[in-house]
Amino acid sequence: MLRGDAEHVWGDIHHLYSSIIDEIDPVTRAKGTKYLSLIMDLAEPLALSDLNQLFADHVHHYLVPFSALTMRTLLKRDICGLKDPSLLHEEIPDFAQRREGIPWALRYACHYWVHHLQHVSPDDEVQEQLLDFLQRRVLLAVEVYAVLGELGLGVNLLRTARRLVTAWPKDSFSSKEDVIALLYDSWRLTLDFFDPISSSALHVYESALPFSPAKSKIRQVYDHLLQSATVFTIEEGLDEEWNCVTRMISVDAKDLEFTATLSPDGSEVAAITPSSVHVWGTATGVLLASLPLGQPCLIRGGIAHSGSHIAFYQSSSALCHVWQPSHGTVISFGGDREAGHSMLMPFIGCVSFSHNEARLACLWGGADNLHQEVTVYDVITRQQLSNVSLGGFSQQPQRSILPFNRDRDWLRFKIRSTTIDFSHEGDCLMVHFMGSTLIFDPVTGREMLRRECCGKNHVVENFVLLFFGPEDAYIFHSSSYLPSRDLPQFRFHHSILPASRNYGRKLLSALPWSVQREASSSLGREEAGMADQPQTVPDSASRRACKIKRIKSGKGQTPSESSPFEVIYILGRDVGATMDGHTVAFCGATRTSWRTPGSDCVGMICEKSDIWLLDLIQAAHQPTFHLSSSDPYLENGYSFACTSELEDWKAYKCLDTENRYLIVDYKSSDGKKGTEILSETYVDEVITALSQSGNYFAIAGRSGSSKGTKVQIWDLAVEPTPVRCNWNGKRCTHIRFSSDSELIAILGTLEDGSYGVVTYSFSDDGLLRTGSISLHPQFWPKNSNRCAIASVGQDFVHLWARPTIDGTLVYLLRWKVATTEIATVAEVPHTGLYSFYPAISPCFERIYSKSRDSSIVMKLNAALENKAAQSEKWLYDVDEEHNPNIYYDALSWSDLCLGTDGWLRKRQRRLCWLPARYRPMSDQEGHYLRLVIYSGTVTFLGLKNNKRLTMRLLNTKIEYLN
């Protein structure tokens, strides 16, 4: 084999390729293709566009096995010798030099293996090479993509390969299902763990693979890598399948009001806030472009993404703007509208591009929703193509007028969001207005179809969605009804199957309707709302589509085969639909393109200040996976009451019976074991608590006409019979057990408005009252709830007190039990909400105070260590080493912590990256990171959906700060 610089041997690389590939003589050409592997080992290959010009189709047959051979020979774990996975690429001084050591032949193979695979027939050799790559080296390739800074390319290649293999003949490939499963798993693994892998490539092995679902194919195939793990192993709590949420993108916290949409292919997500428009990549989560809007304005209209242009409304100008992020240009539409109509504000959510991006449709609406008009523009020339007035308020002869009965319709349709949608060919435009579906020609404005689609006797509010189905053969419709005496709130979906592309009025009587409803009412009552719908069916195929399928609201059940659409329903929202293997995502008032079978489909949900990106293919199979509670008791007639400190005991309140509770032992060896108890009936809010050991359960509240507070305590270890005590408090606000479960303290308000505390100890004779005190009113204004029990001990009870709602100081008080001595021992800064309090270590050495956006760590002054119990006043110093973006362990008080970026650390050293679904709710107000540590295992408490995650740390010595 020749060695050296190709430019010195045969001139530049372009001349080298030309001398071999462009030879007309077939014999010479065949010989030249044999040496392509040698060429790529000598020099950097040409760009893909140049390769396409130079290569004949049959050359790909040589390059597929060459790419496989190159990757089989050169790929290896830690290819650049980075060694330490705790370091980010940017923290390694010679990272750039190490990266240059990746051979160019390997770079070529990693870049173009899918390109060559697309141009060959899937014979046995190709299939075997692909399966071998996926079973042995796909994770090694992901590492190379990350090191080269091209992980986004890796995501796209894996997605493209999966779509390609899905189209291969099934009978010719015995391992096709395994290949598709591995391609999907490697794509999801790269997508879900994009952030840690792109910044530290070795975490494809240290974080991504260990957190891959238990039943995933990639976990089974690469189990040998898990057996040699060096950082941690998962012992409990691993999901069985992939979550349908792939990424969460946070919108600026100042802009809690926003509207978002996806590009037609789902590769980008765009959002408009009162002050700006943003665009992110859905695979990477990287902010691609932003457009400041100048003066903040109300979001009065929607947003649409065509793939290269973004259209949005701005209330301050009453115009529709089209922004091209790649060029930074913004053009405006609607400035030439007639006087009188120019005052119409954009109707919420109504803007749409045609699928070829050539036309833009805008729906302008008045404040009463009756005065609306649809205007269609040519995006390139900016000329108005047509204008259709809705509601009969226009007298202009060039406009189409669609009158409606205002007296009947005004009170029936309180719609905040609707849709306007082009057909796939762009020759039809559909809009919903006052309970009717309208289809008209976007160029001439000629009406092509009008049909009432909502029940005549019910009030529609909030939203109406109308979208063309695949190939424009069906129409998807969804609307929300106001609850009424005759009809509880429900939504329904139906479809229209036109007899032809000619949407003339003569066809209206031949339109079959298929209705699918979701309701909690009786079925007979629902039928009244659709009695007016036509049921004439022209053929047997359409007759099957006319059957009515009803499902209960919120359960995410799948329609029967008679319905043309299957709705993907998550968190009470329609996020997409499937039909004949095609999938579409609903993005507020717009939608993505219908994705063909085998393609991925990105969906989205706007939740508070976040955009949740969804894998709708996964969601279609598991529509509520990880998004609704995974606690079976919450799904079967119970509400959560309280938990023990270690969350191994939980109490639930029965929703059907006011005074019935269920206490569940989550650590029992024979599965979740529950004990049912009946309490007295209380007349106001009750407070519940479980001891740390789970053997005591307490309820406090007012019973009947009793003036005092009644407390019931069950010793669950003996029998569920409560001991009772009375306390003259007006209302109980907090109950806390001591760490050894031998004492209980009850805090509440007294008749005079001040706070009081009473303590009891447990004895063979029942409860023994050990002390009580009325607290000084200077800390607790009347009728305020700004006090909590910090700790309960044999000699002292410590309390947090917050004097004002907007106060930034919290007082730590110490009450000496069995006396009336109470003193303020510390003043602590606190930035959280007034109803939450700092966390304090058992020996009072450290205090954590946090809010959603900041945190403070304080440690006891060194001079007071070991003397805190005797000191009259404690002094805490701010820990200068603390990081406001770190959540610290507030249960075991270990040196483990969790960053807001998802990295689990031992002090500053990164251990692994936790996916969002495994992170505690420590980013929420009043929640801290709480870890249970025992013999090398770490259990995360406070996870979403009542999950528990237990991992065993390897080669890590945990230290404690308390």
Write the DSSP string, 904-947.
EEETTEEEEE--GGGSBSTTSTT--B-EEEETTEEEE-SBGGG-
Residue 66 sits in the same domain as residue 24: yes
Residue 838 sits in the same domain as residue 915: no
Residue 763 sits in the same domain as residue 898: no
Q: Is 630 exposed, middle or buried (0-12, 13-18, 19+ CB in 10 A)?
A: middle
Q: What is the mean pLDDT of residues 611-623?
A: 81
pLDDT-derived band at 564, boundaries 50, 70, 90: low
Q: What is the mean pLDDT of residues 419-423?
A: 88
Tell me the residue type at 433.
F
Residue 866 sits in the same domain as residue 891: no
Confidence at residue 7, expressed as pLDDT on a 0 to 100 scale: 42
**pLDDT value at 538 more than 60:** no
- For residue 290, being part of any structural domain is answered with yes
CB 626 within 8 A of CB 239: yes
Q: What's the Cα-to-Cα distance from 499 to each of 113, 516, 582, 925, 941, rounded to whole Å?
A: 46, 21, 22, 57, 58
**Highest mean pLDDT of the ranges 59-63, 216-220, 748-752:** 216-220
Confidence at residue 866, expressed as pLDDT on a 0 to 100 scale: 56
pLDDT-derived band at 853, boundaries 50, 70, 90: low
- For residue 859, being part of any structural domain is answered with yes
- The reported pTM is 0.79
Residue 878 sits in the same domain as residue 895: no
**Range scoring the smallest mean pLDDT among 110-124, 627-641, 658-672:** 627-641
Of the candidates 185, 188, 204, which has an alpha carbon nearest to the alpha carbon of residue 196? Answer: 204
Give dist(CA 718, CA 724) in Å, integer.
Answer: 16
Give dist(CA 787, CA 214) in Å, integer.
Answer: 45
- For residue 460, being part of any structural domain is answered with yes
**Highest mean pLDDT of the ranges 17-31, 229-243, 549-563:** 229-243
**Range scoring the smallest mean pLDDT among 354-363, 445-454, 466-475:** 445-454
**pLDDT value at 854 more than 80:** no
Give dist(CA 639, CA 653) in Å, integer.
Answer: 5
Q: What is the mean pLDDT of residues 536-565?
A: 35
Of the candidates 50, 154, 171, 54, which has an alpha carbon nearest to the alpha carbon of residue 109? Answer: 154
Over residues 392-414, the pLDDT tens digits come to 444 443 444 445 444 444 444 44
Q: In terms of DSSP bridges, do strands 372-378 and 384-390 run parallel, antiparallel, or are they unpaired?
A: antiparallel
- For residue 1, being part of any structural domain is answered with no
CB 724 within 8 A of CB 760: no
Over residues 343-380, the pLDDT tens digits come to 455 445 578 999 999 999 988 765 555 567 888 999 99
Can you tell me whether residue 313 is helix, strand or coil?
A: strand
- For residue 878, being part of any structural domain is answered with yes
pLDDT-derived band at 77, boundaries 50, 70, 90: very high
Give dist(CA 887, CA 896) in Å, integer.
Answer: 9
CB 334 within 8 A of CB 364: yes
Q: How far is C-alpha 481 from the chain's CA centre?
A: 27
- For residue 691, being part of any structural domain is answered with yes
Confidence at residue 865, expressed as pLDDT on a 0 to 100 scale: 59
CB atoms < 10 A from the CB of 188, how many?
A: 24
For 531, the token pair is 């009695």
Confidence at residue 499, expressed as pLDDT on a 0 to 100 scale: 37
Cα angle: 831, vertex 837, 838; to 5 degrees: 80
Confidence at residue 107, expressed as pLDDT on a 0 to 100 scale: 92
Q: How many Cα atoms are found within 13 Å in the side-chain-facing hemisphere of 160?
A: 14
**pLDDT value at 794 more than 60:** yes
Q: In terms of DSSP bridges, do strands 796-801 and 787-792 run parallel, antiparallel, or are they unpaired?
A: antiparallel
Confidence at residue 519, expressed as pLDDT on a 0 to 100 scale: 29
> What is the rounded average pLDDT for all residues in the chain?
76
What is the crossing angle of helices 59-74 and 124-136, to 10°?
Answer: 30
Q: How many Cα atoms are found within 13 Å in the side-chain-facing hemisphere of 442?
A: 25
- Of 882, 904, 930, the position where a domain reaches its end is 882
Confidence at residue 637, expressed as pLDDT on a 0 to 100 scale: 81
Of the candidates 107, 114, 106, 115, which has an alpha carbon nearest to the alpha carbon of residue 134? Answer: 114
Helices (DSSP H) in 622-707: which residue ranges?
A: none
What stretch of H or E contains 723? strand 722-727
pLDDT-derived band at 180, boundaries 50, 70, 90: very high
Q: What is the secondary structure of 84-116 as a DSSP string?
A: -TTS-GGGSTTHHHHHTTS-HHHHHHHHHHHHH
CB 253 within 8 A of CB 924: no
Confidence at residue 531, expressed as pLDDT on a 0 to 100 scale: 30
For 683, the token pair is 């007349």
Identify the DSSP state of 509. G
Residue 448 sits in the same domain as residue 576: no
For the chain, what is the domain count?
Answer: 5
Higher pLDDT, 805 or 711: 711
pLDDT-derived band at 634, boundaries 50, 70, 90: confident
Confidence at residue 178, expressed as pLDDT on a 0 to 100 scale: 93
What stretch of H or E contains 142? helix 138-147
Give dist(CA 883, CA 899) in Å, integer.
Answer: 9
Confidence at residue 666, expressed as pLDDT on a 0 to 100 scale: 80
**pLDDT value at 941 more than 80:** yes
Residue 703 sits in the same domain as residue 818: yes
Percent of the chain with pLDDT over 70: 69
Over residues 674-683, the pLDDT tens digits come to 788 888 777 7
Give the range of the structural domain holding residue 203, as residue numbers without chain letter. Answer: 13-236
- Of 882, 900, 929, the position where a domain reaches its end is 882
For 31, the token pair is 């010989």
Residue 778 sits in the same domain as residue 903: no
Residue 676 sits in the same domain as residue 701: no
- For residue 219, being part of any structural domain is answered with yes
pLDDT-derived band at 550, boundaries 50, 70, 90: very low
- For residue 533, being part of any structural domain is answered with no
Over residues 915-928, the pLDDT tens digits come to 988 988 755 555 68
**pLDDT value at 24 more than 70:** no
pLDDT-derived band at 130, boundaries 50, 70, 90: very high
Of the candidates 442, 438, 465, which has an alpha carbon nearest to the alpha carbon of residue 375? Answer: 442
For 421, the token pair is 């949608």
Residues 6+ apart with CB under 8 A from 37: 66, 69, 70, 105
Of the candidates 927, 710, 719, which has an alpha carbon nearest to the alpha carbon of residue 836? Answer: 927
pLDDT-derived band at 523, boundaries 50, 70, 90: very low
Confidence at residue 335, expressed as pLDDT on a 0 to 100 scale: 67
Q: For position 286, which CATH number holds?
A: 2.130.10.10
Of the candidates 363, 407, 406, which has an alpha carbon nearest to the alpha carbon of residue 387? Answer: 363
By residue count, the chain amounts to: 962
Tell me the residue type at 170.
K
In 571-701, DSSP assigns E strands to: 573-579, 582-587, 590-591, 602-607, 610-615, 638-643, 649-654, 660-665, 673-678, 687-690, 696-701
Q: In terms of DSSP bridges, do strands 384-390 and 400-402 run parallel, antiparallel, or are they unpaired?
A: parallel
What is the crossing angle of helices 151-166 and 138-147, to 10°?
Answer: 150
Cα angle: 64, vertex 66, 71; to 5 degrees: 100
Residue 300 sits in the same domain as residue 446: yes
Residue 466 sits in the same domain as residue 573: no
Of the candidates 608, 577, 597, which has an alpha carbon nearest to the alpha carbon of residue 468? Answer: 577
Residue 165 sits in the same domain as residue 37: yes
- Of 171, 204, 236, the position where a domain reaches its end is 236
Give dist(CA 374, CA 219) in Å, integer.
Answer: 53
Residues 6+ apart with CB under 8 A from 270: 260, 261, 262, 263, 277, 278, 279, 280, 303, 305, 310
Confidence at residue 495, expressed as pLDDT on a 0 to 100 scale: 47
